[in-house]
Each structure stands twice: as C-alpha cells, then as structure tokens.
Structure 1
Amino acid sequence: MALEINMNNFKEEVLEAKETVLADFWAPWCGPCRMQGPVLEKFAEANPDVKVVKINVDDNQELAMQFKIMSIPSMIVFKNGEAVNCAVGLQSKAALEELVK
C-alpha cells in the first residue's frame, strides 16, 4: 500500500528516505490517476526496495508547485533527497521499473 504524503511528512518520508522513492502526484477526480493506482500497487509488490508514496495535489498544492506539476498523474523518482527522474501520464509497471533504475 502506498503511503499518503503531505507537507508534514514529506521531508522525513521522501527527502530523508534511505531507499529510492517513487512519488505519484495525483487527484481523486482524475480518471488516469485512478487507473494508475492498481499499477502502482503491483509495482510496489514487485519492488519492495522502492518506497511508493502518493501526493494528492488538491490537498498539497505547495508540493505540486514546488515540483512544477502541471499534469497528473506525474511520477517523480527521488534518490538521496534529490528528484532524479520523472514521467507524466499513465505509466505501465514496466515503465515504472525503467523509471526507477
């Protein structure tokens, strides 16, 4: 299950994480975002070494602005506190695995 992230836990759970983090910027009203959910769950099960988190852009507009999220779903990969890769739009499990390499 993906961890819900907000301004209160973003630093600790994402920026200070020891493992690679895949952050899904999404919103509940977004159809492609809802379709991405089950794909993320399968990705998380197959990749236990990657922390998967979800950031609701409606509830966390400051984070969305900080990372220049213009379209959702958007995925950002963080390693050692730095954003190192990103993808916009619905992603397959294979595409997510390639993204975090």
Structure 2
Amino acid sequence: MATIELTAQNFGETIQQNGTVVVDFWAEWCGPCKQFAPTFEKAAQENPDITFGKVDTDAEQQLAGQAQITSIPTLMVFRDQILVHRSSGALPPAQFNQLLTAVNDLDMDQVRKEIAEQEAAKAADGAEV
C-alpha cells in the first residue's frame, strides 16, 4: 500500500477508520526526513494491513502545531485510535520494523485498562486538591 498524504481535513478520519496508522511528520528541507523516507515507503509496501501517512509540516502547520511537533521527523503510531508510540528522529530499518511488530503485538485491552487507570488516578488527584 502506498503512503497517503495526511492533512487537517483527513487526519482524524484516517485515524478513526483504520486499525493501525503510522504517521511521519516531515518537511522537504529536512535531511533526516529524506533519509528516513525510503525506510517508511518500503515498510508501507511490506505491510499492506497498516495505514502509512505523511504530514508535510510546512504545508500543514496548524496540524503539526496541534500534534505538538517540535522536531522532525516525528513518528506517531496509532492503534485502535489510541496513540501508542511517539518518537523523534529517523529510525533505522531494523528498528522501525521492530516497532511495527511491537505495535502489532500489543494487547489493546490491557492498553485501554492502563489508560483508564491513569485517568482515574488523575481524577482522584484533582479531587484531593
């Protein structure tokens, strides 16, 4: 599957309508972004069950701001509409493939349980103030 261009108009819909979405925030002038691009494209071809999208941070400044992108490339991975990974910097191919395998192997029921526990703890902390 080829990568798709993500914009403010289709970003949320893409995350909502796909199981696993890998997002590369990049810019044309960014050397590490250009180095990572072939790795990202190859992974997209080798993993047709995963949605791969790219956000041009120059063209989509508002979206990049909403995502709190402070350095590029930044990689975000969503699974079942939950952000499960975020990192900055270009990953070597082997490390990127390990990340994709780890995301695929996640127990999403456990992830949701941990998120609920964290939110409950935050709410309890807020109630004590």
State whether residues 23 and 77 of structure 1, in contact with CA within 8 Å, keep that contact through their aligned partners in structure 2. yes
Does 20-29 or 47-56 show the bigger shift? 47-56
1:33 aligns with 2:37: no
Specify the SS of the correspondent of 1:48. coil
Provide the C-alpha distance between the structure 1 equivalents of 2:98 and 2:68, rounded to a whole number of angstroms: 22
Distance 2:78 2:61 in 1: 19
Judge conservation of contact 1:4–1:53 (CA < 8 Å) in 2: yes
Shift of 1:41: 1.1
- Point out where structure 2 has 5 or more consecutive residues left out of the alignment: 104-129
Residue of structure 2 in register with 1:7 after alignment: 8
User: With CA pairs under 8 Å and 6+ residues apart, which has the higher RCO, 1 or 2?
Assistant: 1
Q: Partners in 2 of 1:45 and 1:93 — Cα distance?
A: 13
Deviations 1:4-63 (A, max 9, x none): 0101111111x2133200000000011111111111111112222111100011111122
Letter of the 1:8 partner, please give it. Answer: Q
Superposition TM-score, scaled by structure 2 size: 0.72
- CA contact 2:23–2:55 (8 Å) conserved in 1: yes
Aligned to 2:70: 70
The answer to which structure has the higher strand fraction is: 1
Indicate the residue corresponding to 1:96 in structure 2. Answer: 96
Q: Is the 8 A contact 1:86 1:99 kept in 2?
A: no
Q: Which has the larger radius of gyration?
A: 2
| Segments ≥4 residues shifted beyond 6 Å | none
* Contact persistence 1:42–1:93 (CA under 8 A): no
- CA-atom RMSD in angstroms: 1.3
TM-score by length of 1: 0.89
Greater helix share, structure number: 2
Q: Does 1:87 align with 2:87?
A: yes
Alpha-carbon separation, structure 2, partners of 1:54 and 1:76: 10
User: Does structure 2 retain, via aligned residues, the 8 Å contact 1:39–1:93?
Assistant: yes
